[in-house]
Amino acid sequence: MIYYYHCYRGAHLSCVAAALHLGVLKPSAGVKDILGLEYFDVLQNRDMGTPVLAGHSKGDPVCFLGLGPGSKIFARYAQSVTKELQVELPYKSVDCLGCLNLFTRVGGFTSRYRPLKNLGRRLAARGVHKSLGKIYALVLQARDSSSIISGGAGEKSHTRP
Amino acid sequence: MWIIACYVIYHCYGGSHSSVAAAAIHVGLLARDKKPGRRELTELPYFDSQKAQDHGFLQFMGRGKEGALVYSVGFETASAPVINAAKNLFSLGREAAENVIYVGTRPQINNWMIAGGIISRLLGLTCLGRPLVAWGTQLAHRGLVGLVEKTEARVRDLSAGEAP
């Protein structure tokens, strides 16, 4: 199973979700722990579509990436293209944009400008910290549904029967 | 009998007009040597019929003369990240996807098509937008034929490379 956590830029929400999945970050982590993540606020707009392999969980690759405005389209396209190409590709795409709040949005925007980078990072980390429970719930849902239903099913997991 | 050499995916914003017309030219549903009539265009499968929730789903249009399976799809403004992410997903899963050719049809779009597309698809005024977008597609026909011919050359190159 390939885990694909994605958000707009791949810099905050999906990066934290992958860290939670791998156990690098605990659900009780603080803002400092989030800021200390290797890939927090690193990916830029030019990196959209390129997944970063955060690590392996029970041998399964866990990636995070930014998809810009294509989060929903990617889920449909991946489902459609694997079906048309008749490819056996067990994967789970998890859209983390549902956990976006005002802090993360404003922080993510301001961190793109060098003079405001520090302020933006802190704001984004605070926002992510606020929705850490929600992100963890997404991670648990992704992990559990793939282990209960072998090969993965659920809304955004796609394998050919 | 055809040997399936590759898949050709024409993509644009909504997967309703330029990508459908290009795919139709590729599979022979539209003639190359003369401009299509408005009715010919509006009777094409998927032409001016997609909604936002259909974006991302592949629409099978037929087979090209070189045996390639031809599709059209709408990626909105996210074509680059979505294509890149899908290619990387295939690589991670060790699945071969080199035989997929992505062709963006946006450079062939004109203002009539943009205006007609917005009026018909976004505002829902089909009676006004559809003739406009059909007129725009007629104007873009030559450019689309050129794009299809270039794509066919790529398909032939790919098939020749794969041949033992």
Contact list in A for residue B88 (CB cut-off 8 A) is 49-51, 65
Joined together, the tokens standing for residue B22 give: 């290009």
What residue of B is the nearest CA neighbor of A50?
A: B85
Contact list in B for residue A53 (CB cut-off 8 A) is 92
Q: Kindly indicate the confidence band of residue B149, based on its pLDDT and cuts at 50, 70 and 90.
A: very high
What residue of B is the nearest CA neighbor of A78?
A: B86
With CB atoms and an 8 Å threshold, state whether B95 touches A50: no
Per-residue confidence (pLDDT) for residue B163, from 0 to 100:
53
Joined together, the tokens standing for residue A9 give: 């830029």
Contact list in B for residue A69 (CB cut-off 8 A) is 76-78
pLDDT tens digits, one per residue of B90-133 = 888 877 777 899 999 999 999 999 999 999 888 989 889 999 99
Contact list in A for residue B71 (CB cut-off 8 A) is 84
Single-letter residue type at B35: K
ipTM: 0.87
pLDDT at B58 over 80: yes
Q: Indicate the residue of A53, A73, A84 with minimum beta-carbon distance to B78.
A: A73
Q: Are B36 and B44 in contact (CB under 8 A)?
A: no
Q: Are B6 and B100 in contact (CB under 8 A)?
A: yes
**How far is A73 from chain B, CA to nearest CA, in Å?**
5
pLDDT at A152 over 90: no
Q: Domain ranges in chain A?
A: 2-100+132-158
pLDDT tens digits, one per residue of A19-53 = 999 999 999 989 999 999 999 999 998 999 999 99
Q: Kindly indicate the confidence band of residue A89, based on its pLDDT and cuts at 50, 70 and 90.
A: confident
- Give the count of beta carbons closer than 10 Å to the beta carbon of residue A24: 17
Pairwise pLDDT comparison (A1 vs A161), residue with the higher score: A1
